[in-house]
């Protein structure tokens, strides 16, 4: 019986994902999701209390992956002075960003551009604020390891830097009209540009 219920739940989520991606949250109806999932509309509410809860469930894997990606910035292997000069750190940064976009581009479009009328509306600003907090913690952790570096960085500048990063991320999600080599070249140049600025500010 539990297996059957799990199968129905997964079917609802899979169909809802397709509907949300095709029509966005506002235009998707529970009735259509139910019909395509082969169940009565009222039965959907045995699994999800509202369309908003179903929308959040569809985007849960993305949000979980996005949070892991953001928090990885402060993981042990990245708390190294070598991050300012060793190419492998920059390559890992680019690869992680590209992988996230590749794995979740339709969901990212939903979250960043088509989440109006849901509890996830304005999520871009949440990412910016989250990234800003992570940046402040990164500076603190790096100062503890390398007392000579400068971490007297304007909180407003951290917000601006986080906003710039999120906007670049949005551009990656939005545009598929550039080939892979051009996207990689642009990201490599952005990382080089960014690292030069942080070296000037933090003086590692």
Those residues whose C-beta lies under 8 Å from the C-beta of residue 140, and which sit 6 or more positions away, are: 151
Per-residue pLDDT of the chain (204 residues; tens, 9 = 90+): 455 588 999 999 999 999 999 999 999 999 999 999 999 999 999 999 999 999 999 999 999 999 999 999 899 988 999 888 877 878 888 888 889 999 999 999 999 999 999 999 999 999 999 999 999 999 999 999 999 999 999 999 999 999 999 999 899 999 888 888 898 899 889 888 998 999 999 999
pLDDT in the model for residue 110: 96
pLDDT in the model for residue 78: 87
pLDDT in the model for residue 19: 97
pLDDT in the model for residue 2: 52
Q: Decide: helix, strand or coil at residue 137.
A: helix
What single DSSP character describes residue 116? T
**Euclidean distance between CA atoms 182 and 126, whole angstroms:** 29
Those residues whose C-beta lies under 8 Å from the C-beta of residue 199, and which sit 6 or more positions away, are: 84
pLDDT in the model for residue 4: 54
- CA 32 → CA 11, 21, 49, 114, distances in Å? 13, 14, 16, 19
């Amino acid at each position: 019986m539990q297996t059957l219920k799990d199968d129905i739940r997964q079917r609802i989520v899979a169909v809802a994902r397709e509907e949300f991606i095709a029509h966005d949250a506002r235009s998707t109806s529970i009735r259509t999701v139910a019909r395509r999932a082969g169940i009565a509309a009222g039965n959907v509410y045995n699994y999800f209390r509202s369309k908003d809860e179903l929308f959040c469930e569809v985007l849960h894997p993305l949000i979980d992956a996005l949070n892991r990606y953001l928090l990885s910035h402060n993981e042990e292997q990245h708390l190294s002075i070598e991050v300012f000069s060793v190419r492998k750190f920059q390559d890992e940064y680019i690869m992680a960003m590209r992988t996230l976009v590749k794995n979740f581009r339709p969901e990212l479009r939903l979250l960043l551009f088509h989440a109006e009328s849901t509890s996830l509306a304005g999520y871009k600003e949440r990412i910016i604020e989250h990234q800003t907090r992570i940046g402040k913690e990164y500076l603190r952790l790096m100062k503890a390891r390398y007392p000579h570096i400068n971490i007297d960085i304007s909180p407003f500048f951290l917000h601006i830097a986080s906003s710039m990063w999120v906007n670049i991320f949005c551009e990656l999600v939005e545009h598929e009209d550039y080939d892979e080599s051009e996207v990689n070249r642009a990201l490599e140049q952005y990382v080089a540009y960014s690292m030069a600025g942080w070296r000037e500010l933090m003086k590692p």
